[in-house]
Chain A
Amino acid sequence: MKRSLLPIIAHRTAILFFIVFALFPLFWLLKVSVTPNDLLYSEGVRMWPSRTTFDHYTFVLRHSAFPTFFKNSLIVSASTAVVVTVCASLSGYALSRFSFRAKYWIVALMLLTQMFPLVMLVAPIFKILSPLGLTNSLTGLIIVYSAFNVPFATFLMQSFFDGIPKDLEEAAMIDGATKFTAFRQIILPLTLPGIAATLGFVFTAAWSELLFALMLINGNAAATFPVGLLTFVSKFSVDFGQMMAAGVLALIPAGLFFLLIQRYLVQGLTAGAVKG
Chain B
Amino acid sequence: MASIEIEKLEKSYGHVSVLHGVDLDIRDGEFIVLVGPSGCGKSTLLRMIAGLEGVSKGEIRIAGNRVNDLHPKDRDIAMVFQSYALYPHMSVAANMSYSLRLRKMAKEKIGAAVASAASKLGLEPLLERRPKALSGGQRQRVAMGRAIVRQPKAFLFDEPLSNLDARLREQMRAEIKKMHGDLKATSIYVTHDQIEAMTLADRIVAMHGGVVQQVGSPLELYDRPANLFVAGFIGSPGMNFLEATCSGGSVRLKDGSEIEARLHTSTPEGSSLTLGIRPEHVVITRDGSGRRATVELIEPTGFGIILHLSLHGIPFKVFTLDRQALAVTGEITVSFPPEYIHLFDGEGTRIG
Q: Choose one: A178, A271, A274; the contact of B71 (CB below 8 Å).
A: A178
Contact A274 B89 (CB under 8 A): no
Is there contact, CB below 8 Å, between A176 and B132? Answer: no
Indicate which residue in A168, A173, A273 contacts B73 across the interface (CB closer than 8 Å).
Answer: A173
Does the CB pair A173–B98 fall under 8 Å? Answer: no
Query: Do A173 and B72 have beta carbons less than 8 Å apart?
Result: yes
Known: A174-B72, A181-B102, A276-B132. A189 touches B89 (CB 8 A): yes
Say yes or no: B87 contacts A274, CB within 8 Å. no
User: How far is B50's CA from A52's CA once the two chains are assembled, in angstroms?
Assistant: 72
Q: What residues of chain B lie closer than 8 Å to A186, measured between beta carbons?
A: 87
- Please tell me if the beta carbons of A165 and B133 are within 8 angstroms of each other in the complex: no
A49 vs B84: C-alpha distance when bound (angstroms): 63
**CB of A43 within 8 Å of the partner chain:** no
Q: Are A275 and B102 in contact (CB under 8 A)?
A: no
The 0/1 profile, CB within 8 Å of B marked 1, for residues 63-84 of chain A is 0000000000000000000000
Q: Interface stretch among B74-82, B189-197, B201-209, B330-338?
A: B74-82
Are B136 and A275 neighbours in the complex by a CB distance under 8 Å?
A: yes
CA gap between A269 and B132 in the complex, in Å: 9
Residue A53, interface by CB 8 Å: no
Query: Are the C-beta atoms of B102 and A272 separated by less than 8 Å?
Result: no
Q: Chain A contacts of B146 at CB under 8 A?
A: 171, 175
Task: Give the nearest-CB partner of B97 in chain A.
Answer: A175
A162 at the interface (CB under 8 A from B): no
A113 close to B (CB within 8 Å): no
Contact of B131 among A167, A175, A176, A272 (CB under 8 A): A272
Please name the residue on chain A nearest to B78 by beta carbon: A174
Chain A contacts for B112, CB-based, 8 A: none
Does B292 touch A at the CB level, under 8 Å? no
| CB atoms of B83 and A174 under 8 A apart | no
Does A254 belong to the interface (CB within 8 Å)? no
Chain B residues within an 8 Å CB radius of A172 = 87, 98
Do A190 and B89 have beta carbons less than 8 Å apart? Answer: yes
Is there an interface contact between A175 and B98, defined as CB atoms closer than 8 Å? Answer: yes
Distance in Å: Cβ of A232 to nearest Cβ of chain B: 47
Question: B86 at the A/B interface (Cβ < 8 Å)?
Answer: yes
A170 at the interface (CB under 8 A from B): yes
Most chain B beta-carbon neighbours within 10 Å: one of A167, A189, A270: A167
Flag whether B52 is at the interface (Cβ < 8 A).
yes
What residues of chain A have their CB less than 8 Å away from a CB belonging to chain B? 165, 167-168, 170-178, 181, 186, 189-190, 269-276
Closest 7 CB pairs of A and B: A272-B132, A167-B85, A175-B99, A274-B83, A272-B131, A171-B85, A176-B102
A–B Cβ pairs within 8 angstroms, 23 of them: A165-B83, A167-B81, A168-B85, A171-B79, A171-B146, A173-B51, A173-B72, A173-B73, A174-B78, A175-B99, A175-B146, A177-B73, A186-B87, A190-B89, A271-B88, A271-B132, A272-B88, A272-B130, A272-B139, A273-B131, A275-B83, A275-B139, A276-B136
Query: 5 other contacts beyond A173-B71, A190-B88, A273-B85, with CB at 8 A cut-off?
Result: A173-B72, A174-B73, A177-B73, A186-B87, A272-B88
